[in-house]
Amino acid sequence: MRRLVLFVLFALPLVRAGGQTDDSWKLYDDSQIPRIDVTINAALLQWIMDHPQSDSEHVASVRFRNSWIDETVDSIGFRLRGNTSRDSRKKSFKVSFNTFIKGREFHGVDKLNLNGEHNDPSIIRSKLCFDLFADVGKAASRANHVQL
């Protein structure tokens, strides 16, 4: 009986409503560096850059590639994110899969934060902290480096 209980505890976080499995771990496999390509109208991108304090989301598409996934999603919401990064040279972005198509998710995730880590030249501090918190059993964001 003890083995059954352990199996259920590990399996519960992977089960979603309707019996679907959550394969979001494929997005955060840090044995590789995924590539994310965002395609957006040049005029919209220029507007976003000219209005860094705006939270307006603009229509774009995103392609996510790693050894598990090679998919393109159209009609995503794309905007700048963060506070201090909005006026920095290296920007951070938010990708929202459900802004224009309500309820949509991408491998169990409805939003991705693409942090430029403009205050961290090593580009590793946040990732190490999130991993450390998770390793000691504390709630933490999942993170992975990506090529954007």
Please tell me the distance from the alpha carbon of residue 108 to that of residue 82, in angstroms, as a whole number: 23
Does residue 45 form part of some domain? yes
> Given a cut of 80, is residue 31 above it in pLDDT?
yes
Pairing label, strands 35-39, 58-65: antiparallel
Q: List pLDDT tens digits, range 67-115.
A: 999 999 999 999 999 877 788 888 899 999 999 999 999 999 999 999 8
- In Å, how far from its chain's centre is CA 58? 17
Contacts of 57 (CB under 8 A, 6+ apart): 77, 78, 79, 94, 96, 99
Does residue 43 form part of some domain? yes
Instruction: Look at residues 52, 42, 39, 130 and name the one whose alpha carbon lies nearest to residue 91.
Output: 52
Does residue 147 form part of some domain? no
Does residue 7 form part of some domain? no
Does residue 32 form part of some domain? yes
Domain that holds residue 59: 22-135
Classify residue 27 as exposed, middle or buried by CB count within 10 Å of its CB (0-12, 13-18, 19+).
Answer: buried
Does residue 104 form part of some domain? yes
Does residue 142 form part of some domain? no
pLDDT at position 21: 58
Domain count, the chain: 1
- In Å, how far from its chain's centre is CA 143? 8
> Given a cut of 50, is residue 3 above it in pLDDT?
no
Q: List pLDDT tens digits, range 38-63.
A: 999 999 999 999 999 999 999 999 99
Kindly calculate the radius of gyration of the chain based on its CA atoms and give it in whole angstroms. Answer: 17
Does residue 27 form part of some domain? yes
